[in-house]
Amino acid sequence: MLNTYTAVIQAGGKGTRLAELTKGEIPKPMVRLNGKPMIQWQIENVKEYGITNIVIIIGHLGEKIQQYFRDGSDFGVHISYIKETQPLGSAGSLYYLKEKIGFAPFILIFGDVMFDLSWERMISFHEKKNAFGTLLVHPNSHPYDSDLIMMDEDNRVVGMDSKLNTRNYWYQNCVNAGIYILDGHILEEIKEPKKIDFEKDLLQPLFAGKRIFGYMTPEFVKDAGTAERFYEVQKAQQNGVWKRKNLSNSQRCIFLDRDGTINRFNHLISQEEELELEPCAAKAIRLINESGYLAIVITNQPVVARGMCTMEEVKNIHRKMTVLLGEQGAYLDDLAFCPHHPDKGYPEENPLYKIPCNCRKPATGMIDEMVARYHIDCSQSYMIGDGTIDVQTGINAGLHTVLVHTGMAGKDRKYPVSAEMEAEDLLEAVEKILGNRL
């Protein structure tokens, strides 16, 4: 039951990165975003899902928060407070949380993170995994200066790569968002009220011995802790992007082919050095990100079945694509690839993948999986690709279709179909879609 969880909001910091908006007169969470303090948006979202017991950790100018919210009754919730008399980092004050909730499960939210989440989904994930802790993780537009979460195939967290580290490898855009569901017994790790960093000192030491998982979601979650990001978040709320991306609502998606659409066509790419983005790709995907549509790649990669590279090598090629996009402020909400190829007789082929399947385009298995995962409305969604196989896939899945003139430019003629629209490249395709729909 969602109402058994307490929401704990960490609002005790000085907010120096947002000084031009606080002007030293109010705490950061009280900065008004489209008419409401940032922290009020947080409270209203958790309340919408029946989470009404709230603890706010306050510090610098915390009395401003207390004066505004009082006991929470005016907002339909119950609010109590933990006041830091001296800075205790991002976790030291949780020592006092034991007095309020014992060892009951709780949600921890950092006060400069704006979001609109379908909480029953994240809590259901947490409970099904029997997790000790669950981190909300997501791709974002600046992974290069964000802490990255590393997970195994079961979404279990195996490590964290600090934004302060030098990264000389291709990484997955999987960012720690600053929202957690935690077993109350994590509080036993805090022996005294001293300065503790939540991630470094409390959470990371638990990765090896406890069941810590990452919950990936494309819903709206964004750090508003700098003036630039604050204004981006404010604009997204004004444009309805927050609510539109909540997975309680049906989603619109732009499904993207990879080769010849996002990256330059280079036949069968089997090495990371062979992947190079189309010049317009990052800008196009950035527009999708800003629009509220999901951006999901659907691609056939028979290089695995043909024995040209391994599954892990394909994943590394995709990580390179992720990094190159992230460097230009764009991200993918998800990616699916089919490693199969039904025709036998190729040198070095891998018989494990030489099978018929329901995922290889123009079959719709990969799209069907994403539709179920993200509550996608196919009648309001699109497939963009450079081949008739992409057009046929879109038709089979009930999507609108766009053919781009990069890559094969439809010259494969493998399927006798025509797209609803054509465009010179991915950017023009996205601009046409958004011009029709926004």
Residue 241 has pLDDT above 60, yes or no: yes
**What's the pLDDT tens digit per position in 32-60?**
999 999 999 999 999 999 999 999 999 98
Q: Are 277 and 321 in contact (CB under 8 A)?
A: yes
The rounded distance, in Å, linking the Cα atoms of 56 and 65 is 9
Predicted confidence band of residue 425 (pLDDT cuts 50, 70, 90): very high
Residue 2 predicted with pLDDT over 80: no
Catalytic residue among 161, 223, 259, 334: 259
Distance between CA atoms of residues 122 and 214, nearest Å: 10
Average pLDDT across the chain, whole number: 95
Q: Given this model, what pLDDT does residue 227 score?
A: 93
Q: How confident is the model at residue 437 (pLDDT cuts 50, 70, 90)?
A: low
Give the confidence band of 1 by pLDDT, cuts at 50, 70, 90. Answer: low
Q: Which residues pair with 10 in a beta bridge?
A: 57, 110
Per-residue pLDDT, averaged over 219-239, amounts to 94
For residues 264 and 390, is the Cβ–Cβ distance under 8 A? no
The region that residue 50 occupies, defined by phi over 0 for left and psi between -120 and 50 for alpha, beta otherwise, is left
Cα 60–66–67 angle (5° rounding)? 110
Asked if residue 108 has pLDDT above 60, the reply is: yes
Residue 158 and residue 419: Cα distance in Å, rounded? 43
User: Phi and psi of 337, rounded to 5°?
Assistant: -135, 145
- pLDDT confidence of residue 204: 95
Question: Nearest CA to 256 among 315, 294, 314, 296?
Answer: 296
Q: How far is CA 36 from the centre of its chain?
A: 25
Distances (CA, A) of 395 to 363, 373, 384: 10, 20, 11
The fraction of the chain above a pLDDT of 90, given in percent, is: 91
Annotated active-site residue 257? The verdict is yes
The pLDDT value given to residue 63: 96
pLDDT at position 415 over 80:
yes
**pTM exceeds 0.75:** yes
pLDDT at residue 438 tops 50: no
pLDDT of residue 15: 73
pLDDT grade, residue 343 (50/70/90)? confident
Percentage, residues of the chain above pLDDT 70: 99
Instruction: Give the residue-averaged pLDDT of 269-277.
Output: 97
- Distance CA(429)–CA(155), nearest Å, equals 34
Residues across the chain: 438
* Lowest mean pLDDT segment, chosen from 148-162, 370-384, 424-438: 424-438
User: Which pLDDT score is estimated for 33?
Assistant: 97
Tell me how far apart the alpha carbons of residues 15 and 334 are, in angstroms, rounded to a whole number.
32
Could you say which of 257, 333, 386, 425 is catalytic? 257
Q: Taking residues 26-35, what's their average pLDDT? A: 95
Note whether 256 and 246 are within 8 A (CB): no
Q: Stretch 271-283: mean pLDDT, rounded?
A: 98
pLDDT of residue 14: 74
* pLDDT tens-place string over residues 213-227: 999 999 999 999 899
Q: What pLDDT is attached to residue 40?
A: 98
Handedness of CA 93, 99, 103, 105 (dihedral sign): negative
Domains plus CATH for the chain? 2-235 (3.90.550.10), 250-437 (3.40.50.1000)
Could you tell me what percentage of the chain is helix, strand and coil, using 3-state DSSP and rounding each to the nearest 5?
Answer: 35, 20, 40
146: CB partners within 8 A, 6+ apart? 140, 163, 175, 176
